Amino acid sequence: MPFEIIPAIDLRGGKAVRLQRGAFETEARVAEDPVKVARKFQDEGATRLHVVDLDGARMGSPQNVPVIRQILRQVSIPVQVGGGLRTAELVERVVDLGADRVIVGTSAAIDAENAGEILARFGEKVVIGADARDGFVAVQGWMQRTDEAVEAFGKRLVQMGARRFLFTDIARDGMLEGVNIEATRAFAEAVGVPVIASGGVAGPGDITALVPLQPSGVEGVIVGKALYAGALTLADALRLAATTAA
């Protein structure tokens, strides 16, 4: 499988925004029409989109459903959706809208029984969000840090049936400071299932540094602020992913 470049669309109040380290007070609006952004990414060659309901992550249930529904209707490529999906019923709601994958974070970290039910029901569609702050799992829209080391969390969830993770170093997210390559590699090697990297892509160098991690299990990367800030184009990212792998 080719290394996947996955553009991110973060939703708040129906608009596309970017945050720094998940802090809502750092919000910067990047687009009035997230659906238009989604179509643009598809037209530029994206093979998958990453859509996060930031309001949902904070409130504990999806809050931007009308926009998510429109994105899913307007693009033909797979879309993975996260933000507030903390019960099997909420996951089912988003899957029924047409999401190819769902990202589950907080519920997996704090409620093993609930996580087990979601994994049992939705299997391959579930991406477990492993959100790391100083090496420990963060929950509730990244507002709280638990006492569980992120690699231990990953191993525990694999035993429960997790088949894929989204690994984010929160300190890097939205900062254009570069991906935490070593932490990403260590997590992927610890869990032994596919991992998508996230947090901090600053430019072309991050793509060329991540692609060689494929043998360790890193299968792709989420790219957000670098695209909106003009530090990297999707075309360049796709080209680098292909040529570095070759």
Catalytic residue positions, numbered: 10, 131
Say which DSSP state 2 is in. P
Q: Which residues contact 72 (CB under 8 A, 6 or more apart)?
A: 79, 97, 98, 99
Q: What angle do CA 100, 11, 60 make, to 5 degrees?
A: 80
- Residue 155 tokens read as 């191993």
Helix, coil or strand: residue 113: helix
List of E strands, the chain: 4-12, 15-20, 23-31, 49-53, 79-82, 101-104, 126-133, 136-139, 144-149, 165-169, 195-198, 218-223
In whole angstroms, what is the distance from residue 221 CA to residue 168 CA?
A: 10
